[in-house]
Amino acid sequence: MKHFRNIFLVAMISLLALSSCLTAVTEEPMQDVVEEVNLLIWDQFYRPEESAVIDILNREFEASHPGVKIEREVKVLDDLKLTVKLALSEADGPDVSQVNQGRSDMGELVKADLLLPLNDYSTKFEWATVFSTSVASRNSFTPDGKTFGQGNLYGVSPTAEVVGVFYNKGIFADNDWTVPTTFEEFETLLAEIKAADVTPISFGSLDGWNAIHEYSAIQHLLVSQDYINDLTYGVNNVSFDTAENRDAAQILVDWAEAGYFTEGFAGIGYDDSNNNFKAGEGAMTITGSWFAPELMTGTDQEFGFFLLPGFSGKPTMAIGGVGVPYSIRKTTENPDLAAEYLNWMISPRAAELWAVAGMLPAMSLPEESDVKVETDNLFGDTLFAWETINKNNAVGHYIDWATPTFYDTLVAELQKLLGGVSTPADFTAAVEVDYAKFLSEQGE
Partner 1 sequence: MKPQTHRRPGESRWKGYLYLIPAFAVYLFFTLIPILETVRSSFYDWGALGKSNTWVGLENYLSLLNDSTFLKAFSNNLVFIIFYSFIPILLGLFLASLLGRFPIPGFTFFRTVLFLPQVISMVVVGVIWRWMFHPTTGPVNLFLGAIGLERLQQAWLGSFKWALPAVGSVGSWVQYGFCMVLFLAGMQRISEEYYEASSLDGANGLQQFFFITIPELKSEIGVALITTIIAALRVFDLVYATTRGGPGESTLVTGFLIYRTAILNNEIGYGAAVATVLTIVILSLSLLIRRLMTESTDEEA
> By the criterion CB under 8 A, which residues form the site for partner 1?
82, 85, 89, 104, 108-109, 111-114, 205-208, 262-269, 272, 404-405, 408, 411-413, 415-416, 419, 421
Beta carbon of residue 139, minimum distance to partner 1 (angstroms, whole number): 18
Nearest to 39 by CA among 75, 76, 67: 67
| Closest to partner 1 by CB, 134 or 403 | 403
* Angstrom distance (rounded) from CA 274 to CA 155: 31
Smallest distance, Å, CB 207 to partner 1? 7
102 Cβ contact partners less than 8 Å away, ≥ 6 residues apart: 148, 401
**Cβ at position 331, least distance to partner 1 in Å:** 14
CB-based contacts of 440: which residues, under 8 Å, 6+ apart? Answer: none
Q: What is the 3-class SS of 190-255, one letter each residue?
A: HHHHHHCCCCCECCCCCCCHHHHHHHHHHHHHHCCHHHHHHHHHCCCCCCCCCHHHHHHHHHHHHH
Nearest CB to partner 1, comparing residues 387 and 426: 426
The residue (of 265 and 435) whose beta carbon lies closer to partner 1 is: 265
The dihedral sign for the CA sequence 53, 55, 57, 60: negative
Closest CB to partner 1 among 265 and 344? 265
- CB closer to partner 1, 204 vs 310: 204
Can you tell me whether residue 426 is helix, strand or coil? helix
Q: Considering Cα of 196, then 198, then 201, then 207, what sign does the dihedral take?
A: positive
Q: How far is the CB of 106 from partner 1 (least distance, A)?
A: 11
For the bound state, the minimum distance from the C-beta of residue 442 to partner 1, rounded and expressed in Å, comes to 14
Between 177 and 406, name the residue whose CB sits nearer to partner 1: 406
Minimum separation from the CB atom of position 115 to partner 1 (A) = 11
